[in-house]
Structure 1
């Protein structure tokens, strides 16, 4: 039994290290002025909190706001009126997946092939099987050219 617990701790430590490396990688991609992958929300828990401090957020910068990851599409001033949930066209949503790797569906999120997304209207999980999406504008069940019901 103690060997199982020891192995569990090793696995958990490896996962923590992988998440830290992933977070560093997404931040390096953003700092280079590039879009992070749609799945980058996996690492959003370590991104800086977005606060209305009046400063400018650089284009492509990464933020955590109200438990959701965002990437600024353009440079934008950080004031309450331009918060990620208000100035929605200025931010790409990078939602944080659940323990099973399912991303909560959200308006303006980017989606890559292979992502599992929970529909915000019917609550079902859909798999993006084709046609990656930049800035999802419809619930997954309404986009059959990209999503199919996930049976996993």
Structure 2
């Protein structure tokens, strides 16, 4: 049996290293650094950034964010953050820098706006959504099992969005 742990127990028996995308899951077979394999089978898709780790057969398995190729951005952070957000790009916001996934198009744009950029390999933990906790990507359409409803509609973000139903041409 596998369950999620919100806070750190006194002892970690092993750890699993996951990148940002891998830390969003519902059902997946994971392998720890020590070679233990275990199945995660959660009731719904879950953002693991909100948890310390797993309890697996009495063992505490820590979730560790994996280093990823990122751009560390300094400069006029307010202006640069606006331009990053205007491109709907995930962004980690820190007091003295912004961090985004490596992207040569955005790197060129930000450099043109006066940003100083360093390439690094760091754990990526972008800002969550404004209307709740968790991830900013994706959205639900209520009882629509495929997540694809036809027509224009709002998602509560002040923007209109269009979705074509499956099979629409």
Question: TM-score by structure 1 length?
Answer: 0.26
Rg larger in structure: 2
Tell me: higher relative CO, structure 1 or 2? Use CA pairs within 8 A at least 6 residues apart.
Answer: 2
In terms of fraction of residues, the more helix-rich structure is 1
